[in-house]
Amino acid sequence: MEMQGCLVNSTLINFVSDMNLMDFPQKYPLGPKQQVDDTPSSPSNQRRLNDSPWSRDVEDGLLSAQLRSEHLIGSPRFCSRGNHSHTQSKRRRIITVVQRQAANVRERKRMFSLNEAFDELRRKVPTFAYEKRLSRIETLRLAMVYISFMTDLLENT
């Protein structure tokens, strides 16, 4: 495992620097390898954490949901997907405001756990020190390339 670690260390640098994802401006010189800044101090992360449902009063969320629905009901947005007049036979599920709010809370929780998984994946993929943390799509793409790279490495040793 140690030997493999050394091998991985040297090849990882090539791997990471070969990545298209790594075509960042040269204002980020290739210095000591560091993980992407996942600390809450990074601006984007800060915003995310602040906006997360867990740092916000649930009541706030419900209130904003209420406000939004009051404003949005009747907007074209609600017609675009709900335009099923020709398929009226499909029974439509009627939900109460309370049920809708509960569903919103569940959806926020679901998205929160999804983002936790993304954060975990970010910590697993090799990156250099950038000010900018990987986006979700970048994380997925990097992970795919990384897996392919490691697979090749295993097959060729």
Partner DNA sequence: TAGGCCATCTGGTCCT
Partner DNA sequence: AGGACCAGATGGCCTA
Which one, 35 or 69, has the nearer CB to DNA? 69
Question: In the complex, what is the shortest distance from the CB of residue 67 to DNA, in angstroms, rounded to a whole number?
Answer: 9
Query: Counting contacts by CB under 7 A, is residue 11 touching DNA?
Result: no
Total residues interacting with DNA, rule: CB under 7 A: 48
Do residues 42 and 133 touch, judged by C-beta distance below 8 A? Answer: yes
Cα 62–chain centre separation: 23
Site for DNA in 78-107 (CB under 7 A): 78, 80-82, 84, 90, 92-93, 95, 99-107
Q: Rounded to whole angstroms, how far apart are CA atoms 74 and 72?
A: 6
Q: Record the tokens describing residue 131, joined without a space.
A: 């000010």
Q: Record the tokens describing residue 118, joined without a space.
A: 């993304």
Query: Counting contacts by CB under 7 A, is residue 130 touching DNA?
Result: no
Query: Counting contacts by CB under 7 A, is residue 147 touching DNA?
Result: no
Which one, 13 or 141, has the nearer CB to DNA? 141
**What letter does residue 135 receive in the DSSP assignment?**
-
Angstrom distances, CA of residue 119 to CA of 51, 53, 103: 16, 16, 24
Between CA 110 and CA 118, with CA 112 as vertex, the angle to 5 degrees is 110
Which residues are near DNA by CB under 7 A?
Answer: 25, 43-44, 47-48, 51-53, 56, 61-62, 64-65, 68-69, 72-73, 75-78, 80-82, 84, 90, 92-93, 95, 99-108, 110-112, 115, 132, 135-138
